[in-house]
A and B are shown apart, each in its own frame.
Chain A
Amino acid sequence: MIIKTAEDLKKVKEEALDEATARINDGTQIMVGMGTCGIAAGAREVMAKIMEEVGKRNLKVAITWTGCIGMCEKEVLVDVIRPDSKRITYGNVTPQVVQRIITEHVINGNIVEDYVVGKLDK
């Protein structure tokens, strides 16, 4: 596209920022436990679903991943860290639960209490 005004430049910047969310981000973070236990319990599918949802809704969210954190029987574990609140850990997450976490918590800020296994101050 041809940039003719400062507004045009801003539009291109916003698009470009979307593509660079993994690097430039200070907002919400979703973290998936990807230890052997997590992967065995379906963390790959959960990750794929999270990426699909985030991509579909064009959310500015950093998707990170971590190793086993020791609560293996509750895997798949997913943490949602919003800049303004506690770090919430969800357990037994399936692709279906992902959808709820994204729409209720990530977008609207309402914690999905049914699946919460831990709340941490950051």
Chain B
Amino acid sequence: MQIYRGHVLVCTGTGCVSSGSRKVKAEMEKQLEAFKLEQEIKVVETGCHGFCEMGPIVIVYPEGIFYCQVKPEDVKEIVEEHLLKGRPVKRLMFKDRITEEMVPHYNDIDFYKKQNRIVLRNCGFINPENIKEYIARGGYEALAKALTEMTPEQVIEEVKASGLRGRGGGGFPTGLKWGFARAAKGDKKYVICNADEGDPGAFMDRSILEGDPHALIEGMAIAGYAIGADEGYIYVRAEYPLAIKRLKIAIAQAHEMGLLGEDIFGSGFNFKLNIKEGAGAFVCGEETALIASIEGRRGEPRVRPPFPANKGLWGKPSNVNNVETFANVSRIIVNGSQWFASMGTEKSKGTKVFALTGKVKNTGLAEVTMGLTLREIIFDIGGGIINNKKFKAVQIGGPSGGCIPEQLLDLPIDYDSLIQAGAMMGSGGLVVMDEDTCMVELARFFLNFTQLESCGKCTPCREGTKIMLDILERITKGEGKEGDIELLESLAVTIKSTALCGLGQTAPNPVLATLRYFRDEYEAHIKEKRCPAGVCSALASYTILEDKCKGCTACARVCPVQAISGEVKKPHKIDNSKCIRCGACMETCKFSAIIKK
């Protein structure tokens, strides 16, 4: 056996690949050869570490030194100084944002300190394309235990007792769902994984698929055993090519080792997995639309009941769970339901992975115990707001969720507290917004998304969201009327209660939540024709500050409609009746004398 004294882990998750990690890896291999270290140091490709902001990420073991934003030209220094001479390269370590000290080790970085990595425990630590690395970390022990020591009913009881709830958004108890599929009569059943992650800003499922695909496979096989299914489908969007590639490799390796296929662990249980690539329609995240899409039909939802547990794929009993839900299963079987249920809040157990994006310093993936507050996630893990601006709100749950304002930052997060606050867990996307965000525009943005993604099958969603979007567009253009807010509210309530599927039922949420917490902004747009955040360009007005203006005439020269007048070396003025609000004057002014209100 070839032994290596050191392992260099290079992150090849999608985030780090796009910031250049493939080149870093190639350069690493070249330099190791140049220094004749290729027999001593092994380069390992891993999945996402979650700290995408700082990519490409390179970690050197056994010490666990964490290097970030590594460029190909830095590699020689790492090899010569650290790998050859044992002097870790300080300048490439993570710099603490407050103390400005270099932090050499992974676990000492604030971003990771408050996390509780259960689902993501292998992401960034193992090579996802090598099943042995997964097994080294205890992989497939849960499947062995379930198949050889437990009955399907015991597996379901264990999952029920753990309190695991669906991580895709709805939060339905997973064990209960499995119980329905188990009880359904039928000779053929299916396990389906919903990997159609479509929320803008969410990428936790992709990272699991890319970084630890066997965790999903093992979870699905256990579910198959529990409900009595011998076949499974993973519905993953075609926009995730790396995830699909690694899933295919993982499935093939599991087959080779007999961990998928016939008579697994000599138990007589058979299970095989298929991948179905989706074309990226948001509505296919809805389980009945997803099933229709696997069957080769248009991705449109249908009325439930019958639920998929009784009539699912090709009319057979089927169980649909999301990636993160399945990834939790093996941990529950190995460590027991008590262990899992000891974490979290009263009704939400375990952890949740959040994708932190928007105006936050540390964008990335954070897995935290349920019940942590938004403040801890955004400020302690996320490092606060970019450019130290003021926090305004966070959109949670993507286009189906709602915004949470500053006064609720100390809300402990779980499924129920978020629903009460007018948002929802959703898949766990957190889009952080600063003071420069217009909440009306935000609602318009998300409604525009759901409106475009509406499949058109039911009238409330097809027509209702369109009318709501028209109203919001008018308001942001300064053409809002008295009564618009009330009309929006009444439409929202009707759509929520009458739309066919989850897409329509949740589409009005961003509007309702922004109305709930930022009604004054809507009123300012409609009554005063003013955008308090200064975002809606049709409502902006530009003013020249007399005391700062030097009379250089630069703004007057650049104005395309001659709305600025004034004498040389004297303060200028903007004629707001001529101004088309293009903002060219403000960009040109060298003295910050022009402000937008």
Contact = CB atoms under 8 A, between A and B. Distances in A.
Interface of A: 1-6, 9, 12-13, 15-25, 29, 32-36, 39, 47-48, 50-51, 54-55, 58, 62-67
Contacts of A51: 3, 5, 40
Interface stretch (B134-142, B293-301, B315-323): B134-142
A-side binding surface: helix, strand, loop or mixed?
Answer: mixed
Nearest to B259: A3
A22 B40 CA distance: 11
Given A5-B265, A64-B5, A12 B137 contact: no
11 contacts: A3-B257, A5-B265, A6-B145, A6-B148, A16-B132, A20-B133, A22-B7, A35-B86, A48-B40, A50-B5, A51-B5
B266 to A, nearest CB: 5
Please give me the 8 A-B residue pairs with the lowest Cβ-Cβ distance, nearest first.
A16-B136, A63-B5, A16-B132, A67-B87, A55-B3, A65-B86, A34-B86, A2-B258
Contacts, number: 103
Given A1-B257, A5-B266, A64-B63, A55 B1 contact: yes
Contacts of B84: 34, 39
A9 B258 CA distance: 11
Interface in B440-459: none
Contacts of A19: 1, 3, 132, 136
A24 B4 CA distance: 13
Contacts of A12: 132, 135, 257
A35 B63 CA distance: 17
A13 B7 contact: no
Contacts of A5: 144, 148, 265-266
B2 interface: yes
A22 B4 contact: yes
Contact of B5 (A9, A39, A47): A47
A47 B2 CA distance: 15
B314 interface: no
Interface centre among B40, B42, B85, B133 (most CB of A within 10 A): B85
Contacts of A39: 84-85
B483 interface: no
Contacts of B9: 23
A57 B110 CA distance: 40
A1 B135 CA distance: 13
B136 A24 contact: yes
Contacts of A25: 62
A47 B137 CA distance: 28
A14 to B, nearest CB: 9
